Amino acid sequence: MPISKKDAVKRADLIVKKVLKEHDLLSEVLQSVRAKEDSIRYPNAIALEVLSEKHPEIIYPEWDFFLDLLKSKNAYHKSIAISTIANLTLIDDSKKFIMIFKEFFDLLDNKSVIVTRKLAIYSGRIAKAKPSLRTKITEILLQIDKTKHNPNRKDLIKGDIIESFSEYFKDITEKKEVLDFVKAQLNSSSPSTVKKAKEFLRKWE
């Protein structure tokens, strides 16, 4: 049964509060994000997003669960894994992310636009958390045109990439390359990407 975003957010807030009081309830959240029913899956996915962002230390021990989701054929499962793993990189002292770096960023060429856009959006967060990988991440994002996506989809994804660049631009070594990339999107077929390019240039140029 469908559930509105408003109701899902309300339920997610309750779920987060329960997990923070009783950490053992996290296992229920993890299983629920695999549920077929949208009314169960959606609120728990939102709750997981909040928990991994604000309380990553609670979620980090479940790293392997998200690695399994990342390998799933289900685009929704992959997208949950991407956002959660990105949030967990902030406390990834064990350097687990480095071990899956290639597998993770190969998803920029995934056939699902949901997966690819999620990856593009969260790349900036990872670049901020992992300075040693920053240049490599920047280079991968700049090479979006080498992916198999059709031109219109690429233009849409480039808007997400611009948002990510904005998150860590002050720390980017390849500033000229990034600025050239953003300027090129002023002629994008995607109105939203053109808007993001203009906003980026007003802020950073």
Q: Does residue 23 fall inside a structural domain?
A: yes
Query: Does residue 81 form part of some domain?
Result: yes
Residue 77 maps to a domain = yes
For position 73, what pLDDT does the model report?
95
The model's confidence at residue 99, banded by pLDDT at 50, 70 and 90, is very high
Within 8 A by CB and 6+ apart from 184, the residues are none
Tell me whether residue 34 is in a domain: yes
In a domain, 184, yes or no: no
Model confidence at 102: pLDDT above 70:
yes
Q: What is the pLDDT of residues 71-86, one digit of tens each?
A: 999 999 999 999 999 9
Residue 72 lies in a domain: yes
**What are the structure tokens assigned to 117, written together?**
């856009």
Instruction: Give the whole-angstrom CA distance, residue 142 versus residue 73.
Output: 26
Question: Structural domain tally of the chain?
Answer: 1
Q: Does residue 179 lie within any of the structural domains?
A: no
Interaxial angle between packed helices 151-168 and 134-142, expressed in degrees from 0 to 180 and rounded to the nearest 10: 150
pLDDT tens-digit profile of 36-53?
999 999 999 999 999 999
31 in any annotated domain: yes
104 and 67 Cβ atoms separated by less than 8 Å: no
Q: What percent of the chain has pLDDT over 70?
A: 100
Give pTM, 2 decimals: 0.95
Q: Where is 5: in which H helix or E strand?
A: helix 5-21
Domain span holding position 33: 1-94
